[in-house]
């Protein structure tokens, strides 16, 4: 329900989010938030809704008038949960606000947002220590899918610069089903992975998040990239996709067919240079050699086949296909 009657366009913004989530939004315009909330709850009861979320006015600092409004809402509606949304980028201010809200209102938990910024999430420790309340969700972007349950061990890894591989795996599992993983595993095992397969993998990876978001989940990666680094990384992905899209089906399946004349045609068609085409082909050739070595005989080959078997059976990393390793982006 829309109880933020102060911020311009707040109601319209909530309605947009509601449509995206396929959730109805109750609103009565710029009226009294208490009356709006009471009528919204009555409306929910009448229409058989079992969960009601009150979107109240946000505030960066303690405002006595708005705090009194929240206290009245609590007294009138007796909510089961009172969640405070905390901006992880504000540092100590977030801790002070959380402590003040808990003291006056008695919150039941917090939602830590903007973890896609240049902070590692140290505010999570301070907020938890000061309020004693659990962090229930984290936000890593502006999309609905960027709101995730809070996992203490993963946050510890982020703070220590160890990445967040488990979240990366979960994002991959959302994009890949068991059949896709099995087909990919078979191609890797038979060393028949082609450029068209690489293109498909890149498209799937891009659905998982931005270049910067994905990189930040790898251990040892920088938490925040510069705008120039992010832009260059995205450009490299776009160039690679354009080059592969400019090839014929036979060229994707058998890159050895690509001679000097074909390279010029592919470069012209993709808006890139012949050097870019050569670089992609060299990197893909190196990746194929690595796959052939791992899928052959010997100790490394056995390990590769064991990993593929785990992928096919859903064990190990949950059927997640390889991401990033050796790929030209």
Cα 274 to Cα 224: distance, rounded to the nearest angstrom? 32
Cα 229 to Cα 226: distance, rounded to the nearest angstrom? 5
Strands 135-139 and 147-149, how do they pair?
antiparallel
Distances (CA, A) of 211 to 91, 204, 225, 276: 25, 13, 10, 20
Cα 127 to Cα 140: distance, rounded to the nearest angstrom? 18
Per-domain residue ranges of the chain: 2-161, 171-313
Q: Tell me the per-residue pLDDT of 232-253, one tens digit each, with 9 for 90 and over.
A: 777 888 899 999 999 999 999 8
Other Cβ atoms closer than 10 A to 250: 10
Beta bridge partners of 83: 109
Check: CB of residue 151 under 8 Å from CB of residue 124.
no
Helix, strand counts (H, E) of the chain: 15, 6
The pLDDT of residue 314 is 40
The pLDDT of residue 294 is 57
- Hey, which CATH number is domain 2-161, 2.160.10.10, 3.90.1150.10, 3.40.50.300, 3.60.110.10? 3.40.50.300
The pLDDT of residue 320 is 32
Cα 77 to Cα 221: distance, rounded to the nearest angstrom? 46
Low-confidence ranges of the chain (pLDDT < 50): 223, 304-305, 307-329
The pLDDT of residue 168 is 59
End-to-end CA distance of the chain: 44
Which helix (H) or strand (E) is 83 found in, with range? strand 83-87
Question: Do 171-313 and 2-161 have the same topology in CATH?
Answer: no
Cα 93 to Cα 111: distance, rounded to the nearest angstrom? 15
Packing angle between helix 178-190 and helix 195-206, nearest 10 degrees? 150
Half-sphere exposure of 299 (CA within 13 A, CB side): 0
For residue 24, the SS3 value is: coil
Q: Is the pTM of this model over 0.85?
A: no
Residue 279's nearest CA partner among 267, 291, 268 is: 267
Distances (CA, A) of 200 to 131, 184, 196: 46, 11, 6
Cα 184 to Cα 206: distance, rounded to the nearest angstrom? 17
The pLDDT of residue 315 is 39
- Hey, which CATH number is domain 171-313, 3.30.70.20, 3.90.930.12, 1.20.840.10, 1.10.260.30? 1.10.260.30
């Amino acid at each position: 329900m829309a109880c933020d009657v102060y911020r311009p366009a707040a109601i319209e913004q909530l309605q947009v989010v509601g449509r995206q989530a396929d959730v109805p939004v109750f609103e009565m315009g710029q009226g009294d938030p208490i009356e709006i909330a009471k009528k919204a709850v009555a409306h929910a009861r009448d229409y058989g809704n079992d969960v009601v979320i009150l979107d109240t006015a946000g505030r960066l600092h303690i405002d006595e008038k708005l705090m009194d409004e929240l206290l009245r809402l609590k007294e009138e509606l007796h909510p089961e949960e009172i969640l405070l949304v905390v901006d992880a980028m504000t540092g100590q201010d977030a801790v002070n606000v959380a402590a003040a809200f808990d003291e006056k209102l008695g919150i039941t938990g917090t939602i830590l947002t903007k973890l896609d910024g240049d902070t590692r999430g140290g505010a999570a420790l301070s907020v938890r220590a000061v309020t004693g309340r659990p962090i229930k969700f984290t936000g890593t972007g502006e999309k609905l899918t960027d709101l995730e349950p809070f996992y203490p061990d993963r946050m510890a890894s982020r703070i220590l610069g160890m990445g967040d591989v488990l979240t990366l795996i979960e994002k991959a599992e959302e994009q890949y089903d068991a059949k896709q993983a099995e087909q990919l595993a078979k191609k890797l095992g038979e060393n028949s992975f082609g450029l068209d397969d690489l293109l498909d993998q890149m498209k799937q990876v891009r659905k998982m998040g931005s270049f910067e978001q994905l990189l930040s989940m790898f251990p040892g990666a920088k938490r925040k990239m510069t705008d120039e680094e992010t832009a260059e990384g995205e450009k490299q992905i776009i160039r690679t996709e354009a080059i592969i899209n400019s090839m014929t089906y036979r060229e994707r399946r058998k890159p050895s067919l690509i001679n000097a004349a074909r390279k010029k045609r592919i470069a012209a068609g993709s808006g890139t240079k012949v050097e870019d085409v050569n670089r992609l082909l060299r990197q893909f050739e190196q990746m194929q050699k690595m796959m052939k070595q791992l899928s052959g005989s010997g100790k490394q080959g056995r390990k590769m086949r064991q990993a593929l078997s785990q992928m096919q059976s859903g064990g190990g990393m949950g059927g997640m296909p390889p991401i990033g390793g050796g790929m030209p982006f």
